[in-house]
A and B are shown apart, each in its own frame.
Chain A
Amino acid sequence: EAQVTQNPRYLITVTGKKLTVTCSQNMNHEYMSWYRQDPGLGLRQIYYSMNVEVTDKGDVPEGYKVSRKEKRNFPLILESPSPNQTSLYFCASSPRTIHEQYFGPGTRLTVT
């Protein structure tokens, strides 16, 4: 089944404790992206990747890191999480951005 998977789905952590949210797709898509969703702010892009070893900042990259060492994986790293990073996070992939994006189920992160 074609899908985008994210793990974990729910995470509660404390300020400053490094964490990684994994994202994997099995559709051989070149384009992958991370978004955060906050009430009243829609989806905001954090980072995106056009292909392996090619990543770029989105609209809200501060406090996040990503890597794209393999085509299928695009982990999101929070080196020192803060409470303002409490949010719902979505990973997405597509062949190109002019095509439909396939979204993961979301990761709800709470930083206390």
Chain B
Amino acid sequence: AQSVTQLDSHVSVSEGTPVLLRCNYSSSYSPSLFWYVQHPNKGLQLLLKYTSAATLVKGINGFEAEFKKSETSFHLTKPSAHMSDAAEYFCVVSDHPGNNRKLIWGLGTSLAVNP
């Protein structure tokens, strides 16, 4: 069965230090993978997506993620955290044959950025 596990429910970093938000998935097919961000009291916005092209994906606001099939991981990283990065982050997998697939959402990781 498809699943997504976000390994940390809360991550706290200092401004200017690297960010690592971890996501593992299980997949029966060739998955599409997404990271979405939700700022406090706001809607959800796509950060980046992997759809079987380059395994290192660059997104908005300096975030990137690497698809590692052997490790079934899609961790989100950023070299230097900014205060505005404080938000909830969701890893999502789209996994089923065809172009319209069931979406499986992780439970989210809350990122806090300390001054």
Residues of A near any B CB (own CB < 8 A): 30-31, 33, 35, 40-45, 50, 90, 92, 96-98, 100-101, 103-106
Contacts and interface: CB of A to CB of B under 8 A. Distances in A.
B101 interface: yes
A98 B43 contact: no
Contacts of B36: 101
B105 A96 contact: no
A65 B107 CA distance: 24
Given A90-B43, A100-B49, A103-B44, A31 B100 contact: yes
B98 to A, nearest CB: 9
B94 to A, nearest CB: 5
A35 B103 CA distance: 11
A41 B107 contact: yes
Contacts of B44: 43, 90, 92, 101, 103
Nearest to A33: B103
A97 B102 contact: yes
Given A97-B102, A105-B43, 17 more contacts: A33-B103, A40-B9, A42-B106, A42-B107, A43-B90, A90-B43, A90-B44, A96-B99, A98-B51, A98-B94, A98-B99, A98-B100, A100-B34, A100-B46, A101-B44, A101-B46, A106-B43
A92 B94 CA distance: 15
Given A97-B94, A98-B51, A42 B43 contact: no
